[in-house]
Structure 1
Amino acid sequence: MDSWVRFNSQSQAKERVLRAAQYACMLLGYSLQKSRVGTDLHRTISDVEAHMSLTRKLLRLGNSVEALQAAKRAIHLSDSVLRLCLTISHLNRAMYFACDNVLWAGKTGIISKLDQQKWSQRSFRYYLFALILNITRDAYELCLLLDCDDRYKSTKSPLSSTPSSVLPADHLSSSSSTIPVTAAPALMWVPLRRRFDQVQTVLYNNPPLLLDLLKNGCDIFIPLDKLGIYQTSPGFVGMCGMLSSVLSIVTILHPWLKLKP
């Protein structure tokens, strides 16, 4: 099984390139359709997109085994939240790939009279649940990094020489009365602004988490649109799929950018 996983992983880069090209064709086809020019060209691009989709399904044959192996590794993680999110996510990916393989067999005619719409919807439901768990994992990782950053700042910040607890009551009342009433709403946004800046800094200093969050954020619009939960347009779906594919290719070319475990 391990040898099969190593062999199957070699086709991942090719599948990502085809995925980027497929969604680029979707975006280009949508642009041509909106402009109402190049009807023959639009039909040709749609055919190329369909062929790329079928080729990708062929390259993903057996990916269920790889996803099950990843689930077996994730179940031994010490962190309970990561263990739960990653294990269930990999199991859903395994089911998604299995449904995708059945759909490929139906499109090629190996399985006749297959309800392709039903199997397509079923595969996208597994895909959506896996992405939700991946985004939950990213949010958890971000919370851990923010907590570490807060603890680091608390150890580095100097102690105040005049704590507010020892100030006279009349001084506190006079200080609070000097704050204009109109400035109160603005002061309420100060903590949120600081938190937002902190999130930006933490993500900037952790490129693997940033790339994974962006990739999952782009990918989630694909099953949401296909399942009719949040419909956008083929152009938007094509753009999201192309961006997430490019980010995946970057993590393949530079493995240190891949979020671990």
Structure 2
Amino acid sequence: MESWVRFNSQSQAKERIIRAAQYACTLLGYTLQKGGAAADLLHTVSQLEAHMSLSRKLLRLGNSVEALEAAKRAIHLSDGVLRLCLTISHLNRAMYFACDNILWAGKTGLVPEVDLHKWSQRSFRYYLFTLILNLTRDVYELHLLMDREARYRASKSPPSAQPSSSLSADPPSPTPEALPWLSRQLHLLVTVLYTNPPLLLDLLKNLCDIFIPLDRLGIRPTGSGFVGACGLTSSLLSIATILHPWLKLKP
């Protein structure tokens, strides 16, 4: 199983590049449609997007194994919140990839009786729940880092200023006096994200990705142009973490 995981990791960069190209085609198709392009050109771009989607599904065959291995590692984390979020997230990813494999078999004609719409919707539901858990993990880590930074600043401030600098202190009532507090929290947020690029990239990537299943499931329709832009952005961010592993959020 370990050898398969190592082999599978080598195809991730290719899959990310094809994903970026797929969503670039989605964005291009939307732009051409708005510009009144010929129907033949729109059909060509749509077919190219479909072929890239099928190629990605081929590269993701067996990714459920890697996701299950990640879940096995996450279940041993000492932090309870991270352990819960990451373990369930990886299990959902395993189910998402399994649904994806069934869709690949259906679209290639290996299993022609597959209900493509049903399995596609099921796949996007698992994907959505995975992203929700990933965002929960990001917000939790952001809160921990902001709290640590606030305590550090409080320790460097005069004793009289410490209560107002603490992140855990209750926010003041919505009056003009609350503006300094909001300004401090915003500055704290920017500082933490600026000094933690892996967390910033992971947060941005998950925020972009979540609009894709929301649109596909009809929960929050945003249109192919917005979905293409979000998918392309998150793909480029993923490629950056592959090129520079230190940018990948751990664990």
Question: TM-score per shorter chain, which class?
Answer: over 0.9
**Structure 1: 5+ residue runs without aligned partners?**
162-183
Alignment of 1:194-213 (within 5 A): 194-213=184-203
Change (3 A) 1:160 1:118: closer
Partner of 2:216: 226
Q: Distance in 2 between matches of 1:37 and 1:119?
A: 32
Partner of 1:72: 72
Q: TM-score w.r.t. structure 2 length? A: 0.93
Q: Distance in 2 between matches of 1:260 and 1:207?
A: 12
Q: Distance in 1 between matches of 2:144 and 2:208?
A: 23
TM-superposition CA deviations, 1:23-58 (whole Å, max 9, x none): 000000011111112322111111100000000000
Alignment of 1:1-261 (within 5 A): 1-160=1-160, 185-261=175-251
> 2:150·2:188 contact (CA, 8 Å) conserved in 1?
no
Q: Distance in 2 between matches of 1:17 and 1:222?
A: 18
Identity of aligned residues (%): 72
| Alpha-carbon offset, residue 113 of structure 1 | 1.7
SS of match in other structure, 1:189: helix
Q: Structure 1: which amino acid aligns with 2:193?
A: L
TM-superposition CA deviations, 1:82-106 (whole Å, max 9, x none): 0000000000000000000000000
Q: Distance in 2 between matches of 1:3 and 1:247?
A: 27
Q: Structure 2: which amino acid aligns with 1:215?
A: K
Q: Distance in 1 between matches of 2:176 and 2:34?
A: 44
**Structure 2: 5+ residue runs without aligned partners?**
162-173
How many residue pairs are counted as aligned between the two chains?
A: 239
Q: Structure 1: which amino acid aligns with 2:50?
A: A
Q: Distance in 1 between matches of 2:159 and 2:117?
A: 64
SS of match in other structure, 1:76: coil
Q: TM-score w.r.t. structure 1 length? A: 0.90
RMSD: 1.2
Q: Structure 1: which amino acid aligns with 2:64?
A: S
| Alpha-carbon offset, residue 160 of structure 1 | 4.1
Q: Distance in 2 between matches of 1:187 and 1:223?
A: 41
| Alpha-carbon offset, residue 151 of structure 1 | 1.1
TM-superposition CA deviations, 1:42-83 (whole Å, max 9, x none): 111111000000000000000000000000000000000000
Q: Structure 1: which amino acid aligns with 2:138?
A: D
| Alpha-carbon offset, residue 191 of structure 1 | 1.2
Q: Structure 2: which amino acid aligns with 1:83?
A: R
SS of match in other structure, 1:144: helix
TM-superposition CA deviations, 1:198-252 (whole Å, max 9, x none): 1011000000000000000000000000000000010000000000000000000
Answer with 1 or 2: which has the greater Rg.
1
TM-superposition CA deviations, 1:94-153 (whole Å, max 9, x none): 000000000000000010221100000000000000000000000000000011001111
Q: Distance in 2 between matches of 1:188 and 1:141?
A: 25
SS of match in other structure, 1:186: coil
TM-superposition CA deviations, 1:147-190 (whole Å, max 9, x none): 100111111112349xxxxxxxxxxxxxxxxxxxxxx8322232
SS of match in other structure, 2:158: coil
